[in-house]
Amino acid sequence: MNPGPLSSRGFSMCYFRIYIKISLVVLILCYLVPETVVAQDTLWTKAYGGYYREYGYSLDFTSDGGYILAGFTESWDAEGADIYLVKTDADGDQTWDSYFGTENTDYARVIFQKDNGDYIIGGYTGQFYSEDCWIIIANETGDTLRTRSYGGSSLDKIFGGYRTNDGGYIFVGYTQSFGLGYFDIYLIRTDENGDSLWTRTYGGEGEDKAYSVEQTSDGGFIIAGYTNSFGSGEYFGYLLKLNSNGDTMWTVVHDDAAGANFFNSIRETADKGFIAAGSILAYYGDFYYEAYYVKFDSLGNKEWTGSYGAIGEYTVIESVRQTVDGGYIMVGQRGFLLDVHPVFILRVDNQGDYLWSRSYGSYSESNLYEVEITPEGDFLAIGHQYGQDMWLMKLQEPSYCCEVDMFPDDDPIVVQPGGSFGYTGSLINPTEFSLTFDVWVGVNYDNQFFETRLFEGNEPLEPGEFFTSHFRQNVPLYAPLGDYRYVAYGGNYPSKCDSVWFDFTVVGAPMADGNSEWSVDELFTNVDEDVSSGLPSTISIDNSPNPFNATTTITYQLPEAGSVNLAIYNLSGQKVATLEDGFRNAGKHSVSWDASNYSSGIYFYKLVVGDRVITKRMTLLK
């Protein structure tokens, strides 16, 4: 028999046998070449708890703009674990915490704020092989108001829940006290006070467990977990679609995958289908687990699958949510089958293709159990770090934007109707991703924008790649006299993510045989020098590679000799290095910056030539 699902959610370890053999060489290579880094898109991280262990399993948005967090603590109860609640403000700063429980072990796995400001918590209480589902009502300061237990003489646990449309709640987990098999899926439907409206069990003669439930747009429910009662006897992802009374409409045993698999999280998608996520057992000479996610249609038919991880790792998705653009954000745990358990955040598009990921944590146990999307589109994830503290982090979508810049040939720019002016345009990809990017230019006059040319990005720019070209903007004979603003936008047309501008003035009489339209001529590409004089036509500066590790070369051009100062600043505005300070001749100059002794992050390089100041951004990744 192959190994069953590897999960922190209660898998019967007596069924699990490790067959992984990882050589020391593979381990060393994986440590030396990390896939991702902690990036600047992390807005903040916060830790909560005492001396021993605190885990965070669930969060909810509160009416005051903050958050309520739930999990367990071992710091203040000598007998075992207690339920642990933390209330924070919008910045994740703790306003109060509360712990409570019985003389046994008590865990909170899901929490919601009620309409009256109280909290309802779902979890379990007990010890060894006798635990009950536990639903608690706590007031707005975390004091227990009432509790309800559901279960029998064996193991009964709540792992997921959802707020229903009528103000009640639906909780899901598994039971060993009721049903047909060794474990059955256990569903509890309650009113707003946690009192049972009905309960249901689902499964066969084997092991059937569920970790996630959601009310669907038709008023029914979707449940995700795993089964070995059905299918070929392995452990397979299991979906159940129910009507509003809990009656089964259809089920899916996901047994056509490459290996045993299970689902920890499910959500209905905008197209009325479903996204389910968990892990899959892979066979590439050895056994290991990959993060695994599957898109189903509204009837449970598979549309596509995706996976994430590397050979020799186990990688488990604990939570998935659909993003506003139709893609998905997922969180979980990844690491080697030894002792390192960093956590990850994975972002994919609406077809499951990789966009970006972030890894956090250390060589001690860490995990992320739930991710939510804020009204602003940022991401909140809760879990625990280093096997000790409850952990909350907030991050934003990383920039997918190239940087657009323009350097006019003259300053100020004064042109007659029918004339033209020149400028050098540049485009750089400062991100760690390959980007396809559009640029469009035009004029603002009398508070209206008139586009003069669109440059479509047909080929991607690689990380750190840049492009420069010289352009001439033609001004038509009919252009009204007055002040204009010339603007370049960058993005995925017509969506903008960057812009740059300069002003020009149209004066005087129309030129004889002048230009008849607003049009843009591209004169030459990837220009470094003026073709007639052999010298640059304007001051410019760029660095490559960008992002970099740990050395980058900054290249700047001077149309004439002068005093130059080139310095590096960190994100706080502190100067960290001076690379150039003195007289330099006209032409191209290059200087390298070795950032081996600096930490990863965003840095700025500022070039000062006379009264001209140019500042640009670069990213150090280690």
Q: Strand, coil or helix: what is 28? A: helix
Least confident of 168-177, 503-512, 513-522: 513-522
How far apart are the C-alpha atoms of 317 and 9, rounded to whole Å?
Answer: 12
End-to-end CA gap in the chain: 42
Mean pLDDT of 314-343: 83
DSSP E strand stretches across 431-494: 438-445, 448-455, 466-474, 482-492
For the cut 60, the answer to whether the pLDDT of residue 394 exceeds it is: yes
Is the domain spanning 534-622 CATH 3.90.1150.10? The answer is no
- In this prediction, residue 339 has a pLDDT band, given cuts at 50, 70 and 90, of very low
- In this prediction, residue 614 has a pLDDT band, given cuts at 50, 70 and 90, of confident
What are the structural domain ranges in the chain?
399-527, 534-622
The pLDDT of residue 572: 65
The pLDDT of residue 106: 94
How far apart are the C-alpha atoms of 203 and 475, rounded to whole Å?
Answer: 75
* Inter-CA distances, 45 with 92, 341, 619, Å: 8, 18, 21
Mean pLDDT of 306-327: 88
- The percentage of the chain sitting over the pLDDT mark of 70, rounded to a whole number, equals 87
Taking only the tens place, the pLDDT of each residue in 568-582 is 988 667 889 999 998
Phi and psi torsions of 323, nearest 5°: -90, 170
278 token code pair: 């968990």
How far apart are the C-alpha atoms of 332 and 357, rounded to whole Å?
Answer: 11
Least confident of 125-134, 217-226, 285-294: 285-294
- In this prediction, residue 38 has a pLDDT band, given cuts at 50, 70 and 90, of very low
- In this prediction, residue 535 has a pLDDT band, given cuts at 50, 70 and 90, of low
Mean pLDDT of 103-119: 95
Round the average pLDDT of the chain to a whole number and report it. Answer: 85
Fold match between domain 399-527 and domain 534-622: yes
How far apart are the C-alpha atoms of 492 and 571, rounded to whole Å?
Answer: 27
For the cut 60, the answer to whether the pLDDT of residue 22 exceeds it is: no
Phi and psi torsions of 22, nearest 5°: -115, 125
Q: Per mean pLDDT, which of 84-93, 447-456, 483-492 is the most reliable? A: 84-93
The pLDDT of residue 312: 66
Mean pLDDT of 147-164: 95
The class (CATH top level) of 399-527 is mainly beta
How far apart are the C-alpha atoms of 464 and 619, rounded to whole Å?
Answer: 9
Q: What is the pTM of this model?
A: 0.66
Taking only the tens place, the pLDDT of each residue in 25-37 is 222 223 222 333 3
The DSSP 8-state label assigned to residue 399 in this structure reads P
The pLDDT of residue 4: 39
For the cut 90, the answer to whether the pLDDT of residue 518 exceeds it is: yes
Taking only the tens place, the pLDDT of each residue in 206-227 is 999 999 999 999 999 999 999 9
Mean pLDDT of 40-47: 83
For the cut 80, the answer to whether the pLDDT of residue 318 exceeds it is: yes
For the cut 90, the answer to whether the pLDDT of residue 39 exceeds it is: no
For the cut 60, the answer to whether the pLDDT of residue 12 exceeds it is: no
Taking only the tens place, the pLDDT of each residue in 587-596 is 888 899 999 8
- In this prediction, residue 254 has a pLDDT band, given cuts at 50, 70 and 90, of very high
How far apart are the C-alpha atoms of 455 and 524, rounded to whole Å?
Answer: 15
Higher pLDDT, 19 or 498: 498
Mean pLDDT of 422-432: 84
- In this prediction, residue 495 has a pLDDT band, given cuts at 50, 70 and 90, of confident
How far apart are the C-alpha atoms of 220 and 243, rounded to whole Å?
Answer: 4
The pLDDT of residue 284: 52
Higher pLDDT, 284 or 392: 392
Mean pLDDT of 178-206: 95
Taking only the tens place, the pLDDT of each residue in 471-482 is 999 999 999 999
Neighbours of 33 (CB within 10 A): 7
- In this prediction, residue 1 has a pLDDT band, given cuts at 50, 70 and 90, of very low
